[in-house]
Amino acid sequence: MPICQICSQREASLFITRNLNGQKTQVSVCRQCAAESGIVKIDLNKLLAGLAAFTHAQDEEEEKNVEACQGCGMTLAEFNTTGRMGCSQCYGTFAEPMEHLLTRIHGHARHIGKHPGQTEAEESALPGDLERLKSELICAIAEEAYEKAADLRDRIRELERRREART
């Protein structure tokens, strides 16, 4: 550990970097010298109180900016406390705060389906698709198009496997 640059006796626990006119200087000071010389005058209670007041003021400012829902009169503060929308118009009124909330909770605000990683086509595969693929497989075998038949076979197996996994 570096030694205090003021008293040259104790270990420095405070490192102050100053940038004046493009010149960067670093001072290493122990807590006692920092308190005695008045280098750092931070009252932790005042700092925390100031931060709390700042965030509270931000919350109040955000509430003032968002008006109440035209349909039911619900405000953003009411939504935040209940976690529920009052009516269908609330989704339009609180779209931006809702998107921010969903992004914070889920990492994104876009619904990606019941089974993440599947494409929309895979998610919405209809039962008729399986029969259509089976008939195409029969035609491909009859035409001796074996590469196409193998591809169809794999797609059929995948659809059947997913159908079984859902049930």
Q: Indicate whether 69 and 95 sit together in one domain.
A: yes
Domain count, the chain: 3
Q: Are residues 64 and 30 in the same domain?
A: no
Same domain, 50 and 86: yes
CA distances in angstroms from 50 to 53, 57, 133, 154, listed in the order given:
5, 10, 67, 63
Verify that 94 and 132 share a domain, yes or no.
no
DSSP state, residue 97: H
Instruction: Match 């909770």 to its residue by tokens.
Output: 105
Residues 54 and 32 in one domain: no
94 and 135 part of one domain:
no
Residue 1 in tokens: 């550990």
Range of the domain at 63: 44-106
- How many Cβ atoms are within 10 Å of 9's Cβ, its own excluded? 10
Q: Are 95 and 129 contained in the same domain?
A: no
Each residue of 7-24: pLDDT tens digit? 889 988 888 787 777 788
Residue 139 lies in a domain: yes
pLDDT at 44: 55
Query: How many other C-beta atoms can be found within 10 angstroms of the C-beta atom of residue 116?
Result: 6
* Domain match, 18 and 56 both: no
- Give every CB contact of residue 7 below 8 A, 6+ residues apart in sequence: 30, 32, 33
Can you read off the two tokens belonging to residue 67? 């008006």
Model confidence over 29-83: pLDDT tens digits? 888 887 777 666 555 556 556 666 655 555 555 555 557 888 898 888 887 777 7
89 within 8 A of 71, measured Cβ to Cβ? yes
